[in-house]
Amino acid sequence: MRLDRFLANLPCYNRQQVRLLLAHKRVRVDGQVTDDPRTEVRVFSQVEVDGQLLHSGPPARYLMLHKPAGCVSATVDGEHRTVLDLLPEPLREGLHIAGRLDFNTTGLLLLTNDGQWSRRLTQPRTKQPKTYWVETENVIEAHYVERFREGFYFAFEDLTTLPAQLDILAPRKARLTLFEGRYHQVKRMFGHFDNKVTALHRERMGAIVLDAELAPGQFRPLTAAEIASV
Ligand code: URA
């Protein structure tokens, strides 16, 4: 919502007063003085007039979870346990998943109630790297590397995947970095060679790396630096 509308909606100010507050530089949004009535006030914005906090939305929450195999990346599921079931009840309210993982995929899962933050992390447009450790049924051949770099045509979405970096670690093991997150993307890419993915683990999203201290099923809040990195 625009700042002038936000202020005028409060019981204490009318439109004329709002104009004066802004003109006299008495308003700060997220710590910055602003006289621009079009400044965006978001759900987590802190709005101050004369140093008095008027609006502080619901506290933003950002969590990293080491997703174990055998649970669904969803907030509710009639059949299986979900990743939210791994969190204490009071923490769950309003959380969504920033980049789902398949039922048997393990590793870094980020949960937040801040939709803008999660969009920045997951939208292909922002090209945030996502790194996976992959194990396959058959040998990963050297020529795969170039094919991953060229991209694969996904008929369902009618698109070609962005160049991806494949590092072969062992005959059937690789590290793969993608710059987007399409449905079942890793499995579909290896499926192109009829090579089944037998284990998949996400190590990193953007600059956020799965904390080695977290056992499968454990979580921790993100640090200020991790939040700011997105
Ligand atoms: N790609 C997949 O195929 N599965 C995942 O869980 C994540 C990426």
| Cβ atoms of 101 and 133 closer than 8 Å | no
Residue with tokens 């449905």: 183
Among 186, 192, 201, residue to substitute to test ligand 1 (most atoms within 8 Å of Cβ): 186
Indicate whether 87 and 153 sit together in one domain.
yes
Q: How far apart are CA 172 and CA 135, in angstroms?
A: 6
Q: How far apart are CA 8 and CA 18, in angstroms?
A: 6
Ligand 1 pocket check for 106: Cβ under 6 Å: no
Q: How many domains are contained in the chain?
A: 2
Indicate whether 126 and 176 sit together in one domain.
yes
CA distances for 78 relative to 81, 82, 99, angstroms:
8, 9, 21
78 contacts: CB under 8 Å, gap ≥ 6: none
Q: Which domain holds residue 162?
A: 62-228
Using one digit for the tens of pLDDT, what is the confidence trace for 196-220? 999 999 999 999 999 999 999 999 9
Indicate whether 26 and 69 sit together in one domain.
no
Q: How far apart are CA 195 and CA 215, in angstroms?
A: 29
Indicate whether 28 and 106 sit together in one domain.
no
Say whether 102 is catalytic: yes
How far apart are the CA of 124 and the centre of ligand 1, in A? 15
Domain boundary among 41, 56, 71: 56
Indicate whether 88 and 170 sit together in one domain.
yes
Average pLDDT rounded to a whole number, residues 181-189:
95
Indicate whether 183 and 78 sit together in one domain.
yes
Indicate whether 43 and 103 sit together in one domain.
no
Using one digit for the tens of pLDDT, what is the confidence trace for 95-143? 999 999 999 999 999 999 988 899 989 888 888 999 999 999 999 999 9
Q: How confident is the model at residue 226 (pLDDT cuts 50, 70, 90)?
A: very high
Indicate whether 14 and 78 sit together in one domain.
no
Indicate whether 140 and 166 sit together in one domain.
yes
Find how far residue 61's CA is from the centre of its chain. Answer: 12
Indicate whether 221 and 143 sit together in one domain.
yes
Domain boundary among 15, 30, 56: 56
Indicate whether 70 and 140 sit together in one domain.
yes
Q: How confident is the model at residue 30 (pLDDT cuts 50, 70, 90)?
A: confident
Q: How many CB atoms lie within 10 A of CB 222?
A: 20
Q: How far apart are CA 25 and CA 34, in angstroms?
A: 6
Ligand 1 pocket check for 187: Cβ under 6 Å: yes
How far apart are the CA of 176 and the centre of ligand 1, in A? 11
Q: How do the residues of the chain divide into helix, strand and coil, expressed in percent and rounded to 5?
A: 25, 30, 45
**What is the CATH number for 16?**
3.10.290.10
Which run of H or of E encompasses 115? Answer: helix 115-122
**What is the CATH number for 206?**
3.30.2350.10
- pTM for this prediction: 0.80
| Cβ atoms of 40 and 30 closer than 8 Å | no
Q: How confident is the model at residue 55 (pLDDT cuts 50, 70, 90)?
A: low
Indicate whether 66 and 47 sit together in one domain.
no
Q: How far apart are CA 150 and CA 145, in angstroms?
A: 9
